[in-house]
Amino acid sequence: MDTEKHVLKDFYVNMGPQHPSTHGVLRIVLKVDGEKVMSSETVLGYAHRGVEKMAESKTYIQMMPVMDRFDYVSSMLFEWAYVGCMEKALGITPPERAEYIRVIMAELNRIASHLLWAGAFLLDLGAFTPFLWLFDARERIMDMFEEVTGQRMTNNYFKIGGVADDLTPEFFKMLDEFLNMIRKRMADTETLIESIIFLERVKDIGFISKEDVINYSLTGPVARGSGVNYDLRKNEPYSIYTRFDFEIPLGEKGDCYDRYKVRMREVIQSVRIIEQAVSAIPEGPFAEKAPKIVKLPEGEYYFAVETSRGLLGVYLVSDGSANPYRFKLRDPAFSNLSILDTMLPGNKISDVVAILGSIDVVIPEIDR
């Protein structure tokens, strides 16, 4: 019998654009041999909205709310990069209290983002309970945001020269409750998560070497999971981050488990920063006077912050008018995702979910 006729050659599986584990509209074309991935191709652009072109016909202020809509789970960190870039151009320094408020809000946002990631990651791997535990904690952060900014997400809270509104006494009460519960909640969840079933799914798969971190311009927890000590809060300190005592958690091997571990430990470090900021926050104004119509001096400006996914740079070119001449985002998830096609071959289809999850991508940020 001629067996060759029955051999299935070049079998392709389309993962996404509508797939629950891609968290948005990402498409991965997998070439498979049985359960094994032979090669893959990442297809982007399903959430492309042409924001960089749009920016050229909007004023600087009109672009503020748009910044929330890239990475909607850590939106205030994106606001910070944009506001910081304009402040650099205008030579405005926010008052002390505003700097502290920014740090508190940004770190809360980082925690919220990591909690959402961890919950969704575990949900993808089939664990349901941690999702509920972590989302309960995240919900308290959302409530705090609502108290201060009026919105749970897409806050539009950072302004040139400070923030939009002062923190309320009610906020500090909620924050206090949150800080009292979060350490125990993280410890409890970790004991819940780290069963043999989870470890088998994430340990020793999806390796990223230190050389590849440089080669693919990886940043954030993805780089730190491979043991590369790169965090802008330490390596390029902006705002008042030099005043706080915190560590940068690092992984050793660079597998999915290390990246998971790094994010979970980062939550605790962010809690430490918030605790220090709350005890040191001074009284005073929460915003500097800023011009109503923003016109940046002619030239180019670049400002970078550490978001929950890595290095986010905002590059603005101004011709002196009220609209940006060029607006460019150097976003972390874009570079972080570019390594996926190299990582997948040789793994099982079920591991694709774990590897993609461990990179932590938010699609609107990549597609722009």
Q: How far is the CB of 188 from another protein (least distance, A)?
A: 35
Q: Which of 22, 113, 308, 335 binds another protein (CB under 8 A)?
A: 335
Total residues contacting another protein by CB under 8 A comes to 41
Binding mask of the shown chain, residues 196 to 225, with x at each position contacting another protein by CB under 8 A: ----------------x-xxxx--------
- Asked if 320 is part of the footprint of another protein (rule: CB under 8 A), the reply reads no
Considering the rule CB under 8 A, would residue 71 count as an interface residue with another protein?
A: no
Residue 112 interacting with another protein (CB under 8 A):
no
Part in contact with another protein (CB under 8 A); list of ranges 258-266, 272-280, 288-296, 300-308: 300-308
The answer to whether 344 contacts another protein (rule: CB under 8 A) is no
241 binds another protein (CB under 8 A): no
236 binds another protein per the rule CB under 8 A: yes
- Over the window 28 to 67, marking each residue x when it contacts another protein by CB under 8 A and - when it does not, the resulting string is ----------------xx--x-x-xx---x----------
Residue in 18, 183, 201 with CA at minimum distance from that of residue 127: 201
Contacts of 181 (CB under 8 A, 6+ apart): 137, 140
SS3 track for the chain? CCHHHHCCCCEEEEECCCCHHHCCCCEEEEEEECCEEEEEEEECCCCCCCHHHHHCCCCCCCCHHHHCCCCCCCHHHHHHHHHHHHHHHHCCCCCHHHHHHHHHHHHHHHHHHHHHHHHHHHHHCCCCHHHHHHHHHHHHHHHHHHHHHCCCCCCCCEECCEECCCCCHHHHHHHHHHHHHHHHHHHHHHHHHCCHHHHHHHCCCCCCCHHHHHHCCCCCHHHHHCCCCCCHHHHCCCCCHHHCCCCCCCCCCCCHHHHHHHHHHHHHHHHHHHHHHHHHCCCCCCECCCCCCCCCCCEEEEEEEEECCEEEEEEEEECCCCCCCEEEEECHHHHHHCCHHHHCCCCEHHHHHHHHHHHCCCHHHHHC
Nearest distance in Å: CB 350, another protein: 26
326 touches another protein by CB under 8 A = yes
User: Nearest approach, Cβ of 135 to another protein (angstroms)?
Assistant: 31
- Segment interacting with another protein, rule: CB under 8 A, options 58-66, 166-174, 195-203, 295-303: 295-303
Q: How far is the CB of 223 from another protein (least distance, A)?
A: 8
Contact status: 239 vs another protein (CB under 8 A): no
Question: Residue 70 or 334: which CB sits closer to another protein?
Answer: 334
Name the residue among 254, 312, 263 with its Cα closest to residue 110: 263
Q: Is 345 in the site for another protein (CB under 8 A)?
A: no
Using CB under 8 A as the binding rule, whether residue 21 contacts another protein is answered as no
CB of 53 to another protein, least distance (A): 5
Binding flag, residue 325, another protein (CB under 8 A) = yes
307 binds another protein (CB under 8 A): no
> How far is the C-alpha of 75 from the C-alpha of 316, rounded, in Å?
19
What residues line the site for another protein (CB under 8 A)?
44-45, 48, 50, 52-53, 57, 85, 88, 212, 214-217, 228-230, 232, 235-236, 299-304, 311, 313, 315, 317, 325-326, 328, 330, 334-335, 338-339, 342, 367-368
